[in-house]
Amino acid sequence: MVRDYLIIGAGPAGLQLAASLERDGRDYAVLERGSGPGTFFTRYPRHRQLISINKVNTGYTDPELNLRMDWNSLLGDDPELLLTRYTDEYFPRADDLVRYLADFADRTGVRVEYGTEVVRVSRADGVFTVHDAAGRTRQARRLVVATGVSRLNEPPIPGIELAERYDTFDPDPASFTNQRVLIVGKGNSAFETADALMAKAAVIHVAGPHSLKMAWKTHFVGHLRAVNNNFLDSYQLKSQNAVLDGTVENIEKTADGGFHVTFRYARTTERLRELHYDRIILCAGFRFDASVFDETCRPALVIDDRFPEQTSAYESVNVPGLYFAGTLTQQRDFKKGTNGFIHGFRYGVRALHRILGARHHDTPWPARPLTAAPEEIADAVVARVNRSSGLWQQFGVLGDVVTVDGDRAQYQEEVPLAYVTDGGLGPAAHRFVVDLEYGPDHDGVDPFDVTVPRVTENDVEHAMDSSYLHPVVRHYRDGVLAGTHHLAENLENEWDVPAVHQQPLAAFVKACLG
């Protein structure tokens, strides 16, 4: 039997897509090697606290606005199926997310075959054949890979195999008491680990070649989060810990059971340094596991081969019918947007579901009719930018689209911006594309430096110079960019002051259509 869809992985992404296919009565199955939903979060993060916020008390009653402050819930039709109903911890426990995902799977009735490890995927005559560890095979016309980043990233350092690994080490701090510890990697899992060891270890060095970037400055939530940066205090306030900028060149075991490390500094004259540690932990991130694909359908890889290369429709660039969902889609907005995280990719999964509907099930992208009156278009845009959680979370990646045809228009929500420019919605004489964006220099500005001049809020004249998040509307005439309008930024992200937001936008739309 050849199904329409096979989904590999019952993590957040696979579950949400399956729930949409289940609701639509599509022919699909999910294959999951774990014994239940959300297997990844039964183990990670190793110190069990999520870094995705769960802000229960927002002062809002609008569920869409609440999703702006809820970075963990999946998108669905059941208002009770929200993580905010399971815990009110701001940074929730991973175990609560696992509990929530199990209920999500149960209540949506998704068809998952647990305990099913996919070991090989092949493709012939447009059909995928998926082989599992028990020797069974299944076939489908389309394959959605939602397997996450299931392999630890191992930089090519001689002796790295001697190090303990983030995915398997014993996180109990007691065993690190009074020890010198080297942590290889500079991401959140490295600092999460350093933070957990600070009270027990004598000395902790966190090492990596790249400059440390703070998420609050770059607005990329995968950079170092404040919740994980206590360690920096202990470094700069001389408490025996340090961040080492450079590369670990070599690791050797010493007779006393410790390790000898050769380190190359990135920015000092003293190029090489010999260091000694009792323990070394590898925390250099994760990568996609492409090993299951045979030569008939091996996806092209990018970003040091860590992620599958995808089109704007989340499809492999070289294997037709092979789609990706979840954290794997971060290839599309690497180290800029939120596709790597639940609060981002949940909208990507919704977009993928709509793309599959339009391509394979005669279900066009949902659209709402409008007149082509500039005021009505401006009002519709202002209403959405002030409410949408999808545009908020997927800034600079997803946008709303207003297509104008004579005196009529239609409004479509949360379309990947690249999918629009790639012609995914078809041709149009006039199209307005709306998204939320930070200014081009946003990650270079120190928001706390009062000596740095910045655009004041509600400043219509200088709206285009805004560094902070604000709505941007682009006009395309016959697919070619013809004009751009910035709505003035606002302290509380309320872009609904008529004279500041609606009226200038209506004037822009009028001029474009004029």
- Binding positions for ligand FAD, rule: CB under 6 A: 8-14, 31-34, 39-40, 44-45, 50-52, 71, 117-118, 146-150, 189, 286, 292, 326-327, 340-343
Contact present, 241 and 205 (Cβ < 8 Å): yes
Q: How far is the CB of 251 from ligand FAD (least distance, A)?
A: 22
CB of 32 to ligand FAD, least distance (A): 5
Q: Choose between 259 and 341: whose C-beta lies nearer to ligand FAD.
A: 341
Residue closer to ligand FAD by CB (options 340, 399) is 340
Cβ(106)–Cβ(299) below 8 Å: no
Termini Cα distance of the chain: 55
Least gap, CB of 332 to ligand FAD (angstroms): 13
- Measured CA to CA, the distance from residue 496 to residue 445 in angstroms comes to 26
The label of the residue with tokens 């500094």 reads 265
Rounded to whole angstroms, the Cα distance separating 347 from 474 reads 21
**Cβ distance to ligand FAD smaller for residue 52 or 403:** 52
Question: Smallest distance, Å, CB 454 to ligand FAD?
Answer: 30
Which is closer to ligand FAD, CB of 13 or CB of 506? 13
Are 154 and 335 in contact by the 8 Å Cβ rule? The answer is no
Q: Which of 96, 94, 101, 82 is nearest to 51 (CA)?
A: 94
Q: Which residues pair with 205 in a beta bridge?
A: 182, 242
Report the distance separating Cα 188 and Cα 172, nearest Å: 18
Q: How many whole angstroms separate alpha carbon 16 and alpha carbon 325?
A: 10
Distance in Å, CB of 418 to ligand FAD, minimum = 20
282 versus 401: smaller Cβ distance to ligand FAD: 282
* Total number of residues shown for the chain: 514
**Nearest Cα residue to 198 out of 143, 254, 247, 239:** 239
- Min. distance of Cβ 330 from ligand FAD in angstroms? 9
With respect to ligand FAD, which residue has the nearer C-beta, 164 or 465?
164
Count Cβ atoms below 10 Å from residue 294 Cβ, excluding itself.
13
- Residues 391 and 400: beta-carbon distance below 8 Å: yes
Helix H, strand E, coil C: the string for 322-359 is EEECHHHHHHHHCCCCCCCCHHHHHHHHHHHHHHHHHH
Least Å distance between CB 481 and ligand FAD?
A: 33
Task: Give the bridge partners for 433, in sequence order.
Answer: 401, 474
Question: CB 47 → ligand FAD: shortest distance, Å?
Answer: 9
Contact between 332 and 314 under an 8 Å Cβ cutoff? The reply is: yes
